[in-house]
C-alpha cells in the first residue's frame, strides 16, 4: 500500500489484513472460475472505505475449481503474519448455496466466548462477510444458479499460530482470519500513545467536557449500536488505560464514560493498567479470587481458572446466587484503580459488557452520564 500515517516523528505505512487477503483471493478465484480467463490483479473495497489493488499469485485453474493467493502485507506494523500467502480455493458444487470453510493453516474454534461459534473455522465476522459479499456480487453478475464451496487456507498458518495467542484462546491448528476494517494501521507503542493523547487534546481544546473511552472496536460498536450513544466525542484508547487516565487528569474533562468488555476491565480490577496480554494476563486469577471471596467453592474457582475466556467464565457464574455480587465487587475495584489515576474533578462512569450477555454492570455515574451522549 502507498498510504501512510505520521505517528510521533515517524512515517509509517498502512497494510492490509488477512481478512482482506481472503476476500480478494476469493474474488479473484471466482472471477476466473466464472469467466475462464486468468486474473493477475484484483481490486477490493475494504470496510474502511479504501480500495486495494492486489497482485494474485500461485494461480491454479481447473475445470470446476480455481485456487489462488494474496500475499499479506502488514505495512510497518510488527505482525508475524506479514508476508504469508492467504489462499482461497473456489469450486462448483451440485448443492445450491454458498459454503465457506477453513482449510490447512486456518484455526478451528474449540472454546466459547469468541466471535466465531465452536467448531467453525476461525474466520471472524467481518472477513466472513467480506468474502460472502464479494461472492454474492459475482454470483449475481454472472447469473450463476448452482452451488459454491469456498475454502480459505494458508500453508504457513499452523506453524505461525504456535507463536500467537490462538492456542491460549482455544483456537487450534492455525491462525485466525481477522480484521474489522480490512486495513492494518501501523503501531509504534509510544507513537500510538502520543497520538491518543493528541486526539484528546484536540477534544479538550475545542471545549469538549464530556468524552467516551473504549479500548477497542468491540467497545465502540457496543456504545454506538447497543447503547445508541453519539460517539463523536470519543477515543479508542487500545490497551493504554493507565497512560490515558493520567493524561485525562491534565486535560480536565468533566465526565468520562468508559465502555469496555469484561475481558479488559477484569484486568483493571487487579490493578493492571496496560491490558495487553503481553504485559499481563491474570483475568481468570482475578475472577477466581472474587468468586471465592463472594462464596464460591473451591471446585468452581478451579473451573474458572481453567477457562480460556471471560465469557466462558461468566457462563459458569451466571446461575450462582452470588453472581451479582461478584460483578459489583469487580466494578467497584475497577472504579477504585481508575480514580486513583485522576483528580476528583473528573467523573468516571463505567459500563461493563460482553458480546453475549450485553451490559453486565453500569455504575451510577454512568447512568447519570448517558443523556450527555445521546442526541
CATH number at residue 102: 3.30.2110.10
pLDDT tens-digit map of 68-86: 999 999 988 778 899 999 9
Confidence at residue 189, expressed as pLDDT on a 0 to 100 scale: 67
Confidence at residue 125, expressed as pLDDT on a 0 to 100 scale: 93
Domain end, chosen from 184, 210, 236, is at 184
Confidence at residue 188, expressed as pLDDT on a 0 to 100 scale: 53
Beta bridge pairs of residue 67: 60, 89
Domain end, chosen from 184, 214, 233, is at 184
Let me know whether 57 and 70 are in one domain: yes
Confidence at residue 8, expressed as pLDDT on a 0 to 100 scale: 58
Count the domains in the chain.
2
Let me know whether 165 and 261 are in one domain: no
Let me know whether 325 and 199 are in one domain: yes
Confidence at residue 107, expressed as pLDDT on a 0 to 100 scale: 97
Let me know whether 255 and 288 are in one domain: yes
Let me know whether 224 and 256 are in one domain: yes
Domain end, chosen from 121, 154, 184, is at 184
Let me know whether 87 and 116 are in one domain: yes
Let me know whether 41 and 166 are in one domain: yes
Find out whether 212 and 223 touch, Cβ atoms under 8 Å: yes
Residues in the chain, pLDDT under 50: none
Residue in 323, 356, 352, 337 with CA at minimum distance from that of residue 261:
352
The residue range of the domain holding 357 is 189-373
What is the spatial distance between Cα 1 and Cα 231, in angstroms, rounded to a whole number? 29
Confidence at residue 124, expressed as pLDDT on a 0 to 100 scale: 93
Let me know whether 87 and 135 are in one domain: yes
Let me know whether 16 and 144 are in one domain: yes
Let me know whether 81 and 163 are in one domain: yes
Confidence at residue 132, expressed as pLDDT on a 0 to 100 scale: 98
Let me know whether 250 and 368 are in one domain: yes
Let me know whether 158 and 196 are in one domain: no
Confidence at residue 365, expressed as pLDDT on a 0 to 100 scale: 95
Amino acid at each position: 500500500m502507498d498510504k501512510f500515517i505520521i505517528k510521533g516523528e515517524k512515517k509509517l505505512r498502512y497494510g492490509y489484513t488477512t481478512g482482506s487477503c481472503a476476500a480478494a483471493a476469493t474474488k479473484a478465484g471466482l472471477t476466473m472460475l466464472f469467466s475462464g480467463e486468468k486474473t493477475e490483479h484484483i481490486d477490493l473495497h475494504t470496510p474502511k472505505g479504501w480500495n486495494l489493488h492486489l497482485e494474485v499469485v500461485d494461480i491454479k485453474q481447473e475445470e470446476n475449481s480455481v485456487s489462488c493467493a494474496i500475499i499479506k502485507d502488514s505495512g510497518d506494523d510488527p505482525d508475524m503474519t506479514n508476508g504469508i500467502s492467504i489462499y482461497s480455493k473456489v469450486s462448483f458444487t451440485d448443492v445450491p448455496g454458498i459454503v465457506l470453510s477453513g482449510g490447512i493453516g486456518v484455526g478451528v474454534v474449540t472454546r466459547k466466548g469468541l466471535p466465531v461459534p465452536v467448531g467453525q473455522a476461525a474466520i471472524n465476522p467481518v472477513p466472513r462477510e467480506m468474502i460472502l459479499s464479494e461472492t454474492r456480487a459475482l454470483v449475481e453478475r454472472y447469473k450463476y444458479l448452482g452451488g459454491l464451496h469456498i475454502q480459505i487456507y494458508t500453508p504457513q498458518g499452523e506453524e505461525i499460530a504456535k507463536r500467537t495467542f490462538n492456542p491460549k484462546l482455544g483456537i487450534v491448528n492455525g491462525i485466525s482470519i481477522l480484521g474489522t476494517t480490512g486495513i492494518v494501521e501501523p503501531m509504534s507503542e509510544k507513537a500510538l500513545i502520543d497520538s491518543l493523547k493528541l486526539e484528546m487534546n484536540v477534544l479538550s481544546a475545542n471545549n469538549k467536557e464530556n468524552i467516551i473511552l473504549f479500548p477497542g472496536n468491540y467497545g465502540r460498536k457496543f456504545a454506538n449500536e447497543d447503547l445508541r450513544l453519539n460517539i463523536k466525542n470519543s477515543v479508542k484508547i487500545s490497551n493504554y488505560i493507565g497512560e490515558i487516565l493520567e493524561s485525562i487528569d491534565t486535560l480536565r474533562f468533566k465526565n468520562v464514560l468508559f465502555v469496555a468488555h469484561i475481558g479488559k476491565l477484569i484486568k483493571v480490577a487487579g490493578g493492571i493498567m496496560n491490558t495487553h496480554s503481553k504485559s499481563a494476563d491474570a483475568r481468570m486469577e482475578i475472577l477466581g479470587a472474587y468468586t471465592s471471596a463472594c462464596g464460591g467453592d473451591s471446585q468452581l474457582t478451579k473451573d474458572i481458572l481453567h477457562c480460556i475466556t471471560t465469557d466462558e467464565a461468566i457462563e459458569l457464574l451466571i446461575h450462582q446466587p452470588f453472581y451479582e455480587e461478584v460483578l459489583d465487587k469487580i466494578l467497584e475495584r475497577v472504579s477504585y484503580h481508575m480514580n486513583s489515576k485522576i483528580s476528583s474533578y473528573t467523573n468516571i462512569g463505567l459500563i461493563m459488557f460482553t458480546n453475549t450477555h450485553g451490559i453486565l454492570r453500569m455504575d451510577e455515574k454512568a447512568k447519570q452520564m448517558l443523556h450527555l451522549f445521546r442526541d
